[in-house]
Amino acid sequence: MILLFLGTLLGIIFGPALFILVPYIRNYFAGAVCKSKAKLNGKVVLITGANTGIGKETARDLAKRGARVILACRDTAKGEVAACEIRAETGNQQVIMKKLDLADTKSIRQFAENFLAEEKELHILINNAGVMLYPYAKTADGFEMHLGVNHLGHFLLTFLLLERLKQSAPARIVNVSSLAHLMGRICFHDLQGEKFYQRGLAYCQSKVANVHFTQELARRLQGTGVTVNALHPGTVQSELTRYSSVVSLLWKMFSFFLKTPQEGAQTSIYCAVAEELESVTGQYFSDCQPAYVSAHGRDDETAKKLWKVSCELLGIQWE
């Protein structure tokens, strides 16, 4: 009875204060907002995984800026719905959905072939799509799913489109990584998780691979007019957790503290359009500002070795 009384009393005393503070607390967790007013009329943008989540919100924002936006999606039904929605909202009729399955190199090569035949320019490539906490499975080419989709799929796509980016320079490549890279290690002795598999660690490995790819690609693209940066979007309410019922439940319980997809898209947008990043390359951002990269993620020798191994797995020569 005494505890109930005290609880009620504290609610009366502090309730109004908490009510006032809620918007400020929410704004803190929402993170930074891209303040650039840059217009993208005449620019061509390609975003993978743009039918939902931060990819869709990134597409919406860049469409509002006047860009021709290609949504590269595995789920064509959802992709077409997203494209229709963005066209209706922005009035930009240059929002197009194209089929792309990053878990199948044949699909990636077919997508790239069609893209190069239809699009004469590419100014911004946003490697956004990904899977997280996926039960052990392999892609169509036999790659562990996280590594295959999150790293190798985007590695191959970028390779196939790179000359178009160079021809369209100044151009930008944006790789969506994650804070999870801090816990990632490239296990060259068991890259495909065949000896030991833990899906959380597999996701972390794929995210540090994004960082390694960004830094090595930036080194190789010096002087071409094409920049490449990676980012952490924040902890976002999205479909990315759908393969783990436990994490999905936790996300729902603590949704107040998570970013919305629109909030999570801000750093992707910032890396794509911010004028001050025109010549910045090989960096990692979070909340629209440079962020810490793990010591492992900064290891140049690991990045070079991963590059070589990735080329071998994909059967390409990328010097």
CATH code of the domain in which 123 resides:
3.40.50.720
At 94-131, the pLDDT tens digits run 999 999 999 999 999 999 999 999 999 999 999 999 99
What local confidence, expressed as pLDDT, does residue 66 receive? Answer: 98
- Domain that includes residue 147, residue range: 41-314
The tokens describing 234, both together, are: 């924040």
List pLDDT tens digits, range 249-259.
Answer: 554 555 556 88
Q: pTM to 2 decimals?
A: 0.89
Beta strand 68-73 pairing with 284-286: unpaired
136 catalytic? Reply is: no
Structure tokens at 30: 């929402």
Asked if the structure places residue 128 within a domain, the reply is yes
Q: Does residue 15 lie within any of the structural domains? A: no
Asked whether residue 21 is assigned to any structural domain, the reply reads: no
Burial (CB count within 10 angstroms: exposed 0-12, middle 13-18, buried 19+), residue 214 = buried
Give a yes or no: residue 25 inside a domain.
no
Token representation of residue 118: 């239809």
Please tell me the distance from the alpha carbon of residue 304 to that of residue 211, in angstroms, as a whole number. 12
In a domain, 88, yes or no: yes
Domain count, the chain: 1
Q: Which residues 6+ apart lie within 8 Å of 231 measured at CB?
A: 174, 175, 176, 177, 267, 268, 271, 284, 285, 286
Instruction: Quote the pLDDT of residue 259.
Output: 86
State the Cα–Cα distance between residues 263 and 279, nearest whole angstrom: 25
| Residue 23 included in any domain | no
Q: Is residue 198 part of a domain?
A: yes
The phi and psi torsions of 171 (rounded to 5 degrees) equal -140, 160
| Residue of 24, 28, 203, 270 with catalytic role | 203
- The percent of residues above 90 in pLDDT, for the chain, comes to 82
Q: In whole numbers, what is the pLDDT of the chain averaged over residues? A: 90
Q: How do residues 196-249 score in pLDDT, each as one tens digit?
A: 999 999 999 999 999 999 999 999 999 999 999 999 998 777 555 555 556 555
Please report whether residue 4 resides in a domain. Answer: no
**Section 141-162 average pLDDT:** 98
